[in-house]
Amino acid sequence: MVKASACGKLMLFGEHAVVYSRPCIVASVDQSMSVILKKRNDDKIILNAPEKNIENYSFPISESSKSHPKEVSFVLMAVSNFFDKYGVRSGLEIKTCSQFSDRFGLGSSSAVTVSAIKGLTELFGIKISKRDLFDLSYKTVIDIQKLGSGFDIASAVYGGVLYFFTGGRVIEPLKIKDLPLVIGYSGVKADTSTLIKKVAGKIKRNPLEINKIFNEIEKIVNLAGIEIEKRNWPKVGELMNLNQNLLKKLGVSTKELDNLIEAALKAGAYGAKLSGAGGGDCMIALADKRKQGQVKKAIEWAGGKVVEAKISTQGVVCIK
């Protein structure tokens, strides 16, 4: 039996632009998704995912690449891709366990994909580099979603705070172990694929304007990487606010997110912005530790839910 765990993520800078050959900055958080794997002596795959209300979902190995319920699609595509790449076959018992709700948008799909593939390599005695783990996990997510930059996969594989370029062309750890962040959930579950398609439609209609926004976001990302390593929080907060204004121009923020962001800023945060695709999910605020209590209260008074999570430097891990 093998257990593999990978952390969720928060996008700090560069949402949407990263899908179009620009960089972003992403951070792992100390909320993890785990996959427990055990070989069987027959040709069945049996999956339990309590957090998805999936119990004893069973099928023969020959159907591992076929269509499955959305709730289990990432794990089962990971199994199928692993079998195809390494030429192995075995019945499996699989169980997923999560420390966080997938409604928060912390990257549960990517974390479970990375955990599944890492666990399978350990179970079958196959050595895999972080780069190869990223590539196979990224392929798996693209097979399901058709779109995506891979930043959340990189975060699950490597951990820490990363400067990331579309498709993993650059994956560079920043020299920082913690950030004074407050996370607020808007109460609305976002649909990442729908939002990516929405922005894609805007690019088709007005490529010059949208690419200008993306170029501005790229400048912010590059400056933010420098200032984060300096721990220059007032400047990082200022850059967060600039990034948020550009995301509003893209049309991916919401009234709920805007209310939480405004409340955090009024309570003394250095900066605040949505985190991820927008359309709901979470916002983040950067605040001096002495002011974090009042920022949290302000977010709750504005209708948000504070998510207790901290930056994690740990990438995917495996216990046999």
Judgement on whether residues 106 and 26 belong to the same structural domain of the protein: yes
Instruction: Single out the catalytic residue among 84, 132, 143, 152.
Output: 152
Which domain CATH number covers 274? 3.30.70.890
User: What secondary structure letter does DSSP report for 165?
Assistant: E
Do residues 168 and 91 both lie within one domain? yes
Among 1-5, 147-151, 154-158, 295-299, name the one with the lowest average pLDDT: 147-151
Percentage of residues in the chain having pLDDT higher than 90: 80
Task: Please enumerate in sequence order all residues whose Cβ is within 8 A of that of 92, keeping only pairs 6 or more positions apart, or say none.
Answer: 37, 38, 39, 40, 45, 46, 79
The count of structural domains within the chain is 2
Asked if residue 32 and residue 170 are part of one domain, the reply reads yes
User: Per the structure block, which two tokens stand in for 20?
Assistant: 């179009």
CA distance 265 to 5: 35
Compute, in degrees rounded to 10, the torsion defined by CA atoms 298, 299, 304, 309. Answer: -140
The domain containing residue 6 runs over which residues?
2-175+312-319
Predicted pLDDT at 95: 95
Q: Is the pLDDT of residue 31 over 70?
A: yes
CATH classification at residue 167: 3.30.230.10
Burial of 225 (0-12, 13-18, 19+ CB in 10 A): buried
* Whether 77 and 195 share a structural domain: no
**Residues 252 and 303 occupy one common structural domain:** yes
Same domain, 22 and 153: yes
My answer on whether 138 and 191 are in the same domain is no
pLDDT average, residue stretch 214-225:
98
**Res. 100 pLDDT band, cuts 50 70 90:** low
Shared-domain flag, residues 112 and 234: no
> pLDDT tens across 70-86, in order?
778 999 999 999 999 99
152 is catalytic: yes
- Do 92 and 141 have their domain in common? yes
pLDDT band at 106 (very low <50, low <70, confident <90, very high): low
